[in-house]
Structure 1
Amino acid sequence: MSAELNDSGMRAASDQTAIVALCGSRAAESLRQAEADLTLAGKVVLTPFLLSHLSRTPMGPPERDRVRALDRARIAIADEVVVVNPDRYITDSAFEEIAFALQLGRPVAFTEPVTVMGLRSQFFDAFLSGAKTIEVRRLDPKRLALRPGEIIRFDSGQRSLLARVTTLRHAPSAEALLSGLDASAVVPGADRDELAKILEEIYPGLFDVPSPMVAIGINMVGELPIDEPSRQLPAGCSITWHPGPPPAGIPVTGAAGWLVDPVDGRVLVQQREGAGGACRFALPGGGGELVDDGDPLATLSRVAIEELLVEIDAAIAVYLGCQIITGHPDLPEPHAKACFLVPISLYDPIGPAIDDPAGRTHRRFMTSIGHAAQLVVSGRAGGHEASAALVAARALGICVDKPAPAGFRDDGDAVPVTGSGESR
């Protein structure tokens, strides 16, 4: 296959050979076999630094950090990622590389088949958000073969996610398994009796005759990308999702919000006017200012009023986690944006954004959380952040699973939103 260069020096898309990044095991023989198989299949293969090189190249912390950065650079360059997982086991570093690949929207495949399980749709987003960390199943030969350190793929409708097995607890019966099991880690918010009812619904007669069971502890890797065009980040920039406070040393420089209407279950997506009249969608949010006194929720409340003319109920805001942004042209050092789910309490009529020198009006597009993720979450469509927002909204009793039809909401309220529907 020839590869002609276009004016920008890039291969023409119609004649481009796929680039594959290998990750996972550092076992030289397994990596070389995968490299050979993929090369003979007509692909360009990027291989990781092998441990066998260490006999000639001593590595201290600076060198290890450099190799880790190069591993991520290989994934960012590649069109797809292949994980070398002999005996179906992956290392901690491979876990991080797979998660990074999924956050960039890269397809991920494995040299050894992974275990596949079906998953009810109501549990999918709880898994992704980290609210669910244990899966309970009947113990059959497939689950008996599971080992800590291997990957499971959970399928739910058109969506799939990857998770790593951390612990396995076998029990001779459901009763024995439930003893000492944290029910809320299986079904968020559930107690033992509620979990027993759910298991009885899934496995009728489960408590009548003893049946071996297994509790599978899970460490979430991420959602597999959907086959759709993804919005591109600036060159060299990456965004990762962190479900808790940002790691030590990473400053919080701004905030973003999933602003949800408590009446109709839709979230607000800002339609911003760009250069030449072009429009793009974004979550409401922005950088902190002195008036916010270092409080990211105050930043979000201020931006909601200034740019979208809505008031939010900060008193019941739910902190979801933060975006860790690295390599952005405006701020290359790692920094965090705190993310919240917050109910909207009042709409004013849409108008020019306050303090915008250009006097632009940013329209309010209202849609489902899932659709909002596809519009605004670069490289993580339907991923961790949107799933955390869904779980938080459900916990507040907001009808996000059956929202009103999507559309613009540019008018104001005669009275504040109450959540009862009376103001509509």
Structure 2
Amino acid sequence: MDTVASVASNRARKNADIQCLRAIAIIFVMLQHYRNRLPAPALYHKLFDFMTPWAGVDLFFAISGFLVCKTLIEHLAREPRAFAFANFWRRRCARLLPALVFWAAVSIAVGALVGTSAVVGAWDASKGALAGIFGVANLYWTYCAQHGMTRCVQADYNSHFWSLALEWQLYILLALLVAFFRVRTAMALFAVIALIASSFPAPNFSYAWSLRPQAFFLGALIFVVVRAHPGLLIGRTVQSTWFRRSALFVGLLMTFCAPNYLQEPYVIPTVSVGAALALFSTLSVGLTYPTLVSRVLEWIGERSYSIYLCHFSVIFCLRKLTAAMPGFANLSSAWTFLPCAFALVFISFVAADFSYRKIELPMIKRFSWKRKAQALDGQPSLSDNAAR
């Protein structure tokens, strides 16, 4: 069983389909953030009657739950307990914080450039940046939404950092549960927390919405179950392409359509189940995307974290630029939408590629070098770099 579990774990670790799922998530998140911030035709807004792109963050939560739980449990399986937790947190910080700090600093400069005044714009962006870096952005922006945004800021710079803050909080919750209880008991307690959270209505930017643990829990649960029963990934039906593509399609349909067709409190639980189902579809043999599609999605997925961090600043810069262009606002919305959408994608992807190659990868390689040095010294080594 250990051999099969190792094979299944390695397959999941190296599986490009998870990167493709990340790409789908960030594309939908960008669709959400474009809305009402840059010019778009009526057809674009009509799409929101049938789907809710903000649920892309729940795909990220499910993926994070799976990979972070995997990383933590694998550390604990081969390292002394204190050493394992120290390495887990050092790895999380090395992986996430440098890029976050960099793009938070860029956002402050952007705020100063595009705000009603340099001081007000920089101050607003600084509030959001600090809330994100200290892992409380979901609480901060929910408070602002509940009590009137003007009490907090004049513009919602860095409001997208709320989901990063929630991820940090869920990392802490998972680590505490695993630290004090056996894995099965920890997951049972996590299930109770998720069920309690699911009983509350969760309209947008309510506390139940911005503190939702369900998708993250289901991602972690999938790893624990697959680790205990690796045969789930090697059955003929599960490995068949039609089954996996069907599971992916149904999962994405549930994720992005549930908010439009369900009432509270069923929205977030259904979105989370859909995200978990989409994740499960990526854990065995590949989905056999067309080669070009797969390569493009993999490229985007690898840079999805940096895209998430930088695209808000690009949106605000483009909004400032288009507002300053004489006659641009009077053009047909289709003619304004196309250049704005292209500029957003192109600039965000170029900036994210820079961030990925110059900030993310060097930190990953530096951490890997330290791991190798520890292994050569006879110290316990860290797990691989897949849970990124």
Question: TM over 0.5, yes or no?
Answer: no
What is the TM-score normalised by the length of structure 1?
Answer: 0.20
**Structure richer in strand, relative to its length:** 1
What is the TM-score normalised by the length of structure 2?
Answer: 0.21
**Structure richer in helix, relative to its length:** 2
Q: Structure with the greater relative contact order (CA < 8 A, sep ≥ 6): 1 or 2?
A: 2
